[in-house]
């Protein structure tokens, strides 16, 4: 056993100009500045050994020697909103960075994810909602012992969604997602391009429960063998070629104190047998 010191820091800062004054001017229109808001969230964790007490109390100290480091994690997320509470149109821009480094039996392993993206929503009518998401990211992994786990993946994706919701009980969403991922570490230049077509349905009953069904078809074009650690990251656990996934979830309230959940997942990968997974969960509230 060894003595370690743990430090945790978390903070959320929200800037909302509309909270400083009236939401409308003398003309009845919302001032342009009041349409904007910003939210910044920071979370820092570190675990060290053989570190001085003063240094261990500083959550922002990231320059830690390998001889003292046990594990460190950091997450920073900033989102700028435009028309966040507007029922017709809104948009947001998000930048996020996640980093972690830990000491394993085989040495140090580091991971980092940097993403930036935009989301747009437009309520075309009272029943139809259109969403558009754009994202760009870089994912890195570095291992001292396993060189096959080293990668640097650039990714770009676009995902439009169209939802139809005639009331509070039923909603159906059709989506399309295109993603391009490329590894720049090494000489092969592994590249995966995928297209995902999805259909989601949800039905709610007041005080009784909900039923959710999802089905997706993912077509992937990959230029390298799909049985490696890197291919799992690039293909998100799927296979080169055409893949099908589906899910059915039922949540039911039995009386006033018991909640029953039934879940079923299935997937059919390219040149592989169909996999079925089911689960049951019962919750009792006292």
H-helix segments, 191-275: 229-235
Judge contact between 148 and 229, C-beta under 8 A. yes
Judge contact between 208 and 227, C-beta under 8 A. no
241-254 and 191-205 as β-strands: parallel, antiparallel, unpaired? unpaired
pLDDT of residue 28: 60
Candidates 32, 34, 58, 36; CA nearest to 46 is 58
Alpha-carbon distance values, 96 to 27, 136, 179, 257 (Å) = 38, 11, 19, 40
267/215 Cα distance (integer angstroms): 10
**In this predicted model, what pLDDT tens digit does every residue of 257-278 receive, in sequence order?**
889 999 999 999 877 889 999 9
**In this predicted model, what pLDDT tens digit does every residue of 219-229 receive, in sequence order?**
999 998 888 88
Tokens 């989601």 -> residue: 200
Mean pLDDT taken over the chain: 90
């Amino acid at each position: 056993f060894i003595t370690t010191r743990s430090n945790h820091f978390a903070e959320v800062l929200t800037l909302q100009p509309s909270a400083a004054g009236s939401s409308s001017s003398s003309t009845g229109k919302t001032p342009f500045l009041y349409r904007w808001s910003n939210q910044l969230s920071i979370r820092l964790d570190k675990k060290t050994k053989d570190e001085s007490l003063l240094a261990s109390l500083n959550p922002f100290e990231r320059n830690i020697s390998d001889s003292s480091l046990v594990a460190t994690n950091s997450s920073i997320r900033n989102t700028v909103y435009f028309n966040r509470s507007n029922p017709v149109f809104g948009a947001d821009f998000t930048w996020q960075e996640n980093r972690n480094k830990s000491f394993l039996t085989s040495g140090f392993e580091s991971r980092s994810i940097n993403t930036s993206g935009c989301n747009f929503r437009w309520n075309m009518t009272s029943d139809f909602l259109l969403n558009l998401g754009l994202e760009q990211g870089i994912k890195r992994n570095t291992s001292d012992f396993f060189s096959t786990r080293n990668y640097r993946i650039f990714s770009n994706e676009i995902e439009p969604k169209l939802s139809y919701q005639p009331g509070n009980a039923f909603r159906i969403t059709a989506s399309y997602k295109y993603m391009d991922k490329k590894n720049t570490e090494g000489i092969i230049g592994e590249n995966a391009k995928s297209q995902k077509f999805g259909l989601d349905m949800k039905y709610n009953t007041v005080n009784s429960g909900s039923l959710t069904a999802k089905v997706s078809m993912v077509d992937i074009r990959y230029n390298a063998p799909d049985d490696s650690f890197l291919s799992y990251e690039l293909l998100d656990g799927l296979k080169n070629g055409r893949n099908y996934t589906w899910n059915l979830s039922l949540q039911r309230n039995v009386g006033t104190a018991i909640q029953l959940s039934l879940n079923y997942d299935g997937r059919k990968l390219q040149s592989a047998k169909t996999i079925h997974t089911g689960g049951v969960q019962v919750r009792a509230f006292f």
